[in-house]
Amino acid sequence: MIRGYTLPRTPKGKSSLIPNPPWHYTGNVLAVEYLADEKKAAAFLPDGLELMSNQCAVYFIEWQYASETGEEYLDPVCSQYRETIFLLSGKYKEEPVAYCPFIWVDQDKALMRGLIQGWPKQIGYTWITRAYGLPSKAAPLEGKPGKYGAALSVYGRRLADAQVTIEKESETLPSPTFAGAALIRFFPELEKEKHDQPVVHELVQLKSRDVKISPIWKGPAKLNIFENPYTELTDLKPASVLNGYKFSFALTVDDLRHLNSLK
């Protein structure tokens, strides 16, 4: 009798890469809204979703995580990770919903929790300017206007970077936003002649609870997406950049909504 919410499953169930939900997250976010080529963006959507608009967003996030009883944040090597998320503006049965074509995290635990939710996670390294609490030439000051940067590198190549100058508070989050995003859960088949018949292939929608959002800052932004031989991210390059944002976020995940089977 072996146990555990994920592999590896073991006699005591204490070795799983990920423990049972709920999973608690809190993160500092730098985000940029931008417009992509509409036709190219539309081509990224799976069956069941249509493009709502060519407005995209990229989120760079410095997360800390804990399970219900694990207090993982006290052994922070197991708890901290950084993430870059790209989102498209989709709709599902006329309801607006974000869709994620690309996402990178720097930790296997975050990657695995992501796959379970339908995030198409890969390993990549995100860096985000931090605000600090004391005036310094080395940092913007917490809670004040200031300049921030972020960058994503994958397999030793820079894929994207951004700069945001936050100037004033904003009433609204960037759009599209990741809460409630539609995603694809997918698990391939390896048996010969069945490589195109995945055993899991479904459209799902994120559910989160206990969402908390800090005051939101906003201002002008720049965004670069660089050529890369291994990803079609460049088809989502900015035609024009709208606004940059900075805010903090906390949420809990222990549920998921099944939308459509795609098998």
The residues in 164-183 that bind a copy of itself, with binding defined as CB under 8 A, are none
101 versus 174: smaller Cβ distance to a copy of itself: 101
Instruction: Single out the segment in contact with a copy of itself by CB under 8 A; choices: 51-59, 90-98, 173-181, 188-196.
Output: 188-196
Residue whose tokens read 């913007």: 140
11 versus 172: smaller Cβ distance to a copy of itself: 11
Q: Does 73 bind a copy of itself (CB under 8 A)?
A: yes
Q: Does 187 bind a copy of itself (CB under 8 A)?
A: yes
Contact 44, 54 (CB under 8 A): no
User: Which phi and psi (to 5°) does residue 73 adopt?
Assistant: -65, -15
- Residue 92 CA to residue 59 CA, distance in Å, equals 22
* 50, 188, 197, 220: residue in contact with a copy of itself (rule CB under 8 A): 188
Q: Does 27 bind a copy of itself (CB under 8 A)?
A: yes
* 71, 172, 220, 261: residue in contact with a copy of itself (rule CB under 8 A): 71
Q: Does 263 bind a copy of itself (CB under 8 A)?
A: no
Encoding tokens for residue 152?
A: 């994503």
Strands 23-35 and 50-67: antiparallel
Give me the 94-133 binding string for a copy of itself, x by CB under 8 A, dash otherwise. -------xxx---xx--x---xxx--xxxx-x-xxxx-xx
Q: What contacts 156, CB < 8 A, 6 or more positions away?
A: none
Burial profile 60-69: b = 16 or more Cβ within 10 angstroms, e = fewer: bbbbbbbbee
- Residue 109 CA to residue 249 CA, distance in Å, equals 20
CB of 33 to a copy of itself, least distance (A): 19
- The secondary structure of 150-170 as a DSSP string is EEEEETTEEEEEEEEEE-EEE
Q: Does 53 bind a copy of itself (CB under 8 A)?
A: no
Pick the closest to residue 89 from 44, 130, 125 (CA basis).
44
Residue whose tokens read 């989502």: 236
Instruction: Single out the segment in contact with a copy of itself by CB under 8 A; choices: 41-49, 89-97, 173-181, 237-245.
Output: 41-49
161 versus 167: smaller Cβ distance to a copy of itself: 161
* 31, 56, 184, 223: residue in contact with a copy of itself (rule CB under 8 A): 184
Q: Does 249 bind a copy of itself (CB under 8 A)?
A: yes
Strands 121-123 and 95-105: parallel
Give me the 189-228 binding string for a copy of itself, x by CB under 8 A, dash otherwise. -xxx--x---xx-----------xxx--------------
